[in-house]
């Protein structure tokens, strides 16, 4: 009877030890600096900047030198980018009236990638600039992106 009780206690302690080891291993793996980059994420930036590029045509920025050249004076208002892991896809435009909301949707099933941008306008008559940025994980290949911009009230 005593031997059975000791066997049960030993099994419980081994189970707890295994669970703790699994937890520690999971935390260590998830905190690794070599973890792969997310394939796509929004890039936090001012929503109404304007740089010297064609409206509604996406620009793929692949290096910090190119980023500094394109964004010049406004680069200090923008977040830091790890160009070793990501490329920046930037697009800007102008709405003929005010903007209520901007939603985006990506189609990344084939190249070129398609970025669909839906601009929900309000009824004000003031033109409004817009801009969006996205970080795409580097793939080793040149990224090609096309946009479809829809303005609707």
Tell me which of 30 and 61 has the higher pLDDT: 61
Give the number of other CB atoms < 10 A from CB of residue 83: 17
Tell me which of 142 and 58 has the higher pLDDT: 58
What is the structure's pLDDT at 31?
47
What is the structure's pLDDT at 35?
57
Does residue 98 sit in helix, strand or coil? coil
Q: Is-contact 135 43, C-beta < 8 A?
A: yes
pLDDT at 33 over 80: no
Rounded Cα–Cα distance for residues 133 and 102 (Å)? 12
What is the structure's pLDDT at 30?
46
pLDDT at 131 over 90: yes
Most confident of 4-8, 29-33, 64-68: 64-68
Q: How confident is the model at residue 29 (pLDDT cuts 50, 70, 90)?
A: very low
Does residue 96 sit in helix, strand or coil? coil
| pLDDT one-digit tens code per residue, 59-93 | 999 999 999 999 998 888 888 999 999 999 999 99
The whole-number average pLDDT for the span 37-57 is: 89
Q: Give the bridge partners for 59, in sequence order.
A: 90
| pLDDT one-digit tens code per residue, 109-120 | 999 999 999 999
Residue 79, both tokens? 């977040």
What is the structure's pLDDT at 85?
95
Q: Does the predicted model carry a pTM greater than 0.75?
A: no
Peptide linkage before 63 cis (omega within 30 of 0): no
Rounded Cα–Cα distance for residues 50 and 127 (Å)? 14
Rounded Cα–Cα distance for residues 127 and 8 (Å)? 74
């Amino acid at each position: 009877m005593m031997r059975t009780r000791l066997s049960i206690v030993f099994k419980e302690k081994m189970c707890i030890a295994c669970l703790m080891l699994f937890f520690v291993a999971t935390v260590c793996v998830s905190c690794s600096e070599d973890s792969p980059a997310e394939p796509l994420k929004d890039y936090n930036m001012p929503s109404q900047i304007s740089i010297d590029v064609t409206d509604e045509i996406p620009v793929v920025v692949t290096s910090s030198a190119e980023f500094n050249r394109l964004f010049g004076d406004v680069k200090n208002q923008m977040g830091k980018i790890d160009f070793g892991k990501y490329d920046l896809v930037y697009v800007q435009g102008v709405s003929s009236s005010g903007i209520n909301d901007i939603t985006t949707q990506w189609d990344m099933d084939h190249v070129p990638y398609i970025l669909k941008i839906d601009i929900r306008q309000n009824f004000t008559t003031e033109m409004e600039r817009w801009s969006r940025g996205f970080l795409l994980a580097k793939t080793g290949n040149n990224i090609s992106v096309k946009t479809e911009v829809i303005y609707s009230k």
